[in-house]
């Protein structure tokens, strides 16, 4: 298996696989500066919570390289502005804010260094964020594999694979692990309207690795669950509150309701960097609303009447009571979630 690199920093440029174009076109998007990174996150050239965080960290590195010739005070002032722009590129995935905070801490804790030395530290930190995420995903995959039967069918939503992370993936990482450890698994991948991350990206990753699978329209899931065709549901997360409420791609909540009715295990797979220790419940999670064009058009082709209004939230919140467990790199968090999540706080 050749490892897919959705995010690569070389020769002082950030290269991202352009996820707007997959699977029809495989092309790298080059970010020359932090504004390009902000654009790439906002326009979903790069997407998926951990991937957004890692890309943003390199956005901070590019900003540092741009301002390296300034005196220390104006360097810090410019860096703060760049960080707050990157921080706002998308509102729901907490990994973005987590990564920016971590990068800002490098600046605040190294005030004694000169600007050039700070730049070197920042680049090292971004590299660490990227590398740690791959390690985290592999650890998570091992824990997650325990909930996958030796022979069985998994349902997943959105894209949580190598494209959505620094590599390997979260929910799709568990699926990869199950497949590579010889389990006889079959995967149903939700198409994931409106941006079709399942149809375009998960299907692409599944095909690349020959994992037995079928793509379904989102509305097929309930029938498969009722007909006992699904053994376990694995999804990712964009932000997890202290009580376990989880924001993830729109449609996840609906899936969790059906899973609960029919008693199918429903697991969140996410690194601890996706936990927001500052919020008590999912009510505190800002849900991004995206352009109506994502619903009115497929590609550049309009598919609904010109004057139709659209409501297009990109995420929803699955209440903790619908979640069987939260698979992290530190193990599987069981209920009561709040008590067990707090134990993970460093
Ligand atoms: O809008 P997206 O494509 O960035 O949303 C992605 C998701 O909702 C994923 O499920 C989540 O970020 C976990 S990715 C490992």
- pLDDT tens per residue, range 31-65: 999 999 999 999 999 999 999 999 999 999 999 99
* Percent of the chain residues topping a pLDDT of 90: 98
* Domain spans of the chain, in order of start: 7-138, 142-342
| CATH number attached to the domain at 142-342 | 3.40.50.10470
**Ligand 1 in reach of 6 Cβ (< 6 A):** no
- Per residue in 266-301, pLDDT tens? 999 999 999 999 999 999 999 999 999 999 999 899
pLDDT at residue 86 is higher than 80: yes
Strand, coil or helix: 285: coil
Q: Which residues are catalytic?
A: 238
- Per residue in 150-192, pLDDT tens? 999 999 999 999 999 999 999 999 999 999 999 999 999 999 9
pLDDT at residue 10 is higher than 60: yes
pLDDT at residue 4 is higher than 70: yes
**Ligand 1 in reach of 271 Cβ (< 6 A):** no
Edge-first strand listing for the sheet containing 266-269: 213-216, 184-190, 151-156, 232-235, 266-269, 325-328, 331-333
Q: How many CB atoms lie within 10 A of CB 184?
A: 11
The atom of ligand 1 lying closest to the CA of 288 is: 1
Cα of 116 vs centre of ligand 1, distance in Å, is: 35
* Percent of the chain residues topping a pLDDT of 70: 99
How high is the mean pLDDT of the chain? 97
Q: What is the pTM of this model?
A: 0.97
pLDDT at residue 2 is higher than 70: no
Structural tokens at position 161: 């694979």
The predicted structure's pLDDT at residue 44: 98
**Ligand 1 in reach of 87 Cβ (< 6 A):** no
- Per residue in 190-205, pLDDT tens? 999 999 999 999 999 9
Closest residue by Cα to atom 15, ligand 1, is: 160
pLDDT category at 346 given cuts 50, 70, 90 is: low
Cα of 72 vs centre of ligand 1, distance in Å, is: 37
**Ligand 1 in reach of 173 Cβ (< 6 A):** no
Dist CA 134 CA 118 (whole Å): 25
The CATH class, in words, for 7-138 is mainly alpha
**Ligand 1 in reach of 153 Cβ (< 6 A):** no
The predicted structure's pLDDT at residue 345: 85
Closest residue by Cα to atom 6, ligand 1, is: 48
């Amino acid at each position: 298996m050749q490892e897919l690199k959705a995010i690569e920093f070389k020769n002082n440029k950030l290269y991202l696989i352009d996820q707007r174009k997959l699977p029809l076109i495989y092309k790298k998007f080059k970010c020359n500066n932090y504004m390009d990174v902000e654009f790439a996150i906002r326009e979903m050239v790069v997407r998926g919570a951990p991937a957004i965080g890692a890309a943003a960290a390199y956005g901070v590195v590019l900003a540092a390289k741009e301002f390296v010739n300034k005196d220390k005070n104006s360097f810090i002032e410019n860096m703060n502005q760049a960080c707050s722009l990157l921080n706002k590129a998308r509102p729901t995935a907490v990994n973005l804010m987590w990564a920016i905070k971590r990068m800002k801490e490098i600046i605040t804790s190294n005030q004694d260094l000169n600007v050039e030395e700070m730049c070197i530290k920042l680049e090292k930190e971004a590299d660490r964020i990227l590398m740690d995420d791959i390690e985290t995903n592999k650890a998570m995959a091992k824990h997650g594999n325990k909930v996958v039967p030796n022979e069985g069918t998994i349902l997943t939503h959105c894209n949580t694979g190598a494209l959505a992370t620094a590599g390997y993936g979260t929910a799709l990482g568990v699926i990869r692990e199950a497949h590579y450890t010889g389990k006889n698994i079959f995967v149903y991948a939700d198409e994931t309207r409106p941006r079709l991350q399942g149809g375009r990206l998960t299907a692409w990753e599944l095909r690349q690795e020959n994992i037995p699978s079928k793509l379904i329209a989102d509305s097929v899931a309930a029938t498969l669950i009722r007909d006992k065709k699904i053994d376990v549901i694995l999804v990712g997360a964009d932000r997890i509150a202290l009580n376990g409420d989880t924001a993830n791609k729109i449609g996840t909540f609906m899936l969790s309701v059906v899973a609960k009715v029919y008693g199918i295990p429903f697991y969140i797979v996410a690194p601890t960097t996706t936990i927001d220790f500052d919020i008590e419940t999912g009510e505190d999670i800002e849900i991004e609303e995206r352009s109506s064009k994502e619903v009115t058009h497929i590609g550049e082709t309009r598919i609904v009447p010109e004057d139709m209004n659209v409501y297009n939230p990109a995420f929803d919140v699955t209440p903790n009571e619908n979640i069987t467990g939260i698979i992290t790199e530190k193990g599987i968090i069981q209920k009561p979630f709040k008590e067990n999540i707090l134990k993970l706080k460093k």
